[in-house]
Chains A and B, each alone.
Chain A
Amino acid sequence: MAKLVILGGGVSGHTTATFAAKWLGSEHEVIVVTPNSQWNWIPSNIWVGVGQMKKEEVTFDLAPVYKKAGITFIQAKATEIHPEGSDTIEKAFVTVESTSSGSEGEVTTVEYDYLVNATGPKLNFGATEGLGKGSELGEHTVSVCTAGHAVHANDKLKEAIEKMKSGVRQKILVGTGHGLCTCQGAAFEYIFNVEHELNKAGVRDMADIKWISNESFLGDFGMGGLHMKSMGFAVSSKIFAESLFTERGIPWIVGAHVNKVEEGKVHYELLDGEMGEEEFDFAMLIPPFTGVDLKAIAKDGSDISDTMFAPNKFMKVDAKYGVTDYNQWKASDWPSTYQSSAYKNIFAPGIAFAPPHPISKPMKSPNGTVITPAPPRTGMPAGIIGKAVAHSVCDLITKGEDAELHKISMADMGAACVASTGKGIFDGTAAAMTVYPVIPDFDKYPGTGRDTNHTFGEIGLAGHWIKHILHHMFIYKAKLKPGWTLIPE
């Protein structure tokens, strides 16, 4: 009997665990170690953040789902990986610290034959002074990165709306809270939802809404922008995004590294070196992401984290690291098996793997401050990679150590994204986008780097309906309801 341990029950870890449990059956053990008792459909946190959904609509308890799937569920956070075992434990194992009520802080070990690190991002609020401490959100701004954060964001937004109703003008700032942030898409969706809510509440004219981000141009999205087919043109996402902001009367600050947040004010540095300040009454700033705080320890007890993890704490896999010159970047630098470069029985799908480099062109201010979006690894790639890793691990377990690994690179993978505004069936709209491939391949698609037959963007109710359907479909799938395997990632 082989033991497969999956760290992280988010989008990619849950996908790996559920498929592996289905394919391996009861002959082998699948264990999920994750700190939360609930699964969260993170994209719908945006709607929670404007009060259009309740936390309960975007989360569900993991324990009954894992019980049904025959998966052992350990509510804990992993703190150390011991890939060679230790003096006292022969087998490879992970050290975990319980987060379950009643046993919080209890440390135990979990042995494994195969390990999947799907721990996603650490929300690194602490990287910006005043934005928070470590992974804890600070007191000046709000976030929508977790369902709990989104509930808090909505409370604060409602307070601002009440003030506007009583005649007090409010400044609203939405975007990224550091020069190295990713996930601009989430902030993008949030700002339009906030604007929609203000319109609904009849107070739009009482608000000055502003966007601030580390993208060098609006519509970069951490993907170096994209060109989409529209009306017979290959239209840049810059035009697409600027059009959306202009239509709603929202000005933008781009190329900004937010370096300090205080009560009612952010301080930032721009790509041209200029320093600025922006006041706010309500601000939602996405934090930068790093890998979670996981250490790797060798058999002799020495710390080998540097071997397994990149400096940003994401796990090093089969990518081509070290190519720093943008002009030398190739689509083939991106990993395809997600197997750890140090240990063949460890994999890292989703956000947990260390990307070889950004997708957007690296930029620095004259003061030497790097202001470059980190590459996004959104839900669809996280799910697809999670499933490919499940395939690989199941083959290694059932066919032997020489089994061929399943390959899927973000350079051969597309992503579908729907940024919705509002939640009503007839009064919302959405920007529905697909991009193919996620990583631009300038050898295959000279010019835009992408296949413009499969990269498109469109605004309207249709995308909005799709967003609703995706919400219900993915929660249905994650709950392993009948036919769940037929729903694509």
Chain B
Amino acid sequence: MALKEERNIRAYTQNFGTMTPGAFQKKLRTCVIFQFIRFIVINIKMLIVVGKSH
């Protein structure tokens, strides 16, 4: 049985060539502790880009 996350993919249609996140990846996207760490990392990354641009 197809996993819930993969149900939108159809063979040889336009979405057959991409990647789809699995349940774990999706959980990470809304996991507050993990996202808090990513928040700090993304902010640092963005600040570096902002710094390089001024």
Contact = CB atoms under 8 A, between A and B. Distances in A.
A associates with B: yes
Interface of A: 239, 242-243, 245-249, 251-252, 380, 384, 408, 412-416, 426-427, 429, 432, 434, 436, 454, 456, 458-463, 465-466, 488-489
Nearest to A245: B15
Contacts of A461: 29-30, 32, 35, 39
Given A384-B53, A432-B42, A462-B36, A242 B29 contact: no
A459 B21 CA distance: 11
B14 to A, nearest CB: 7
Contacts of A248: 8
B39 A465 contact: yes
A413 B48 CA distance: 11
B20 A246 contact: yes
A414 B50 contact: yes
Given A436-B52, A462-B42, A426 B5 contact: no
Interface in B24-54: 28-30, 32, 34-36, 38-39, 41-43, 45-46, 48-50, 52-54
Nearest to A464: B35
Contacts of B30: 426-427, 429, 460-461
A239 B21 CA distance: 12
Contacts of B5: 247
10 contacts: A242-B15, A249-B8, A408-B54, A432-B42, A434-B45, A458-B42, A459-B21, A460-B29, A462-B36, A462-B42
B34 to A, nearest CB: 8
Size band of the B side of the interface? 20 to 34
A488 B29 contact: no
Nearest to B38: A462
Contacts of B48: 454
B3 to A, nearest CB: 12
A465 B30 CA distance: 11
A320 B40 CA distance: 40
B46 A434 contact: yes
B18 A242 contact: yes
A246 B8 contact: yes
A454 B49 contact: yes
A380 B7 CA distance: 38
Nearest to B19: A243
Contacts of A245: 15
A243 B20 contact: yes
Contacts of B29: 429, 459-461
A462 B17 contact: no
Contact of A243 (B14, B21, B34): B21
A239 B15 CA distance: 10
A488 B20 contact: no
B35 A462 contact: yes
A454 B39 contact: no
Nearest to A414: B49
B24 to A, nearest CB: 13
Contact of B18 (A246, A454, A458, A459): A246
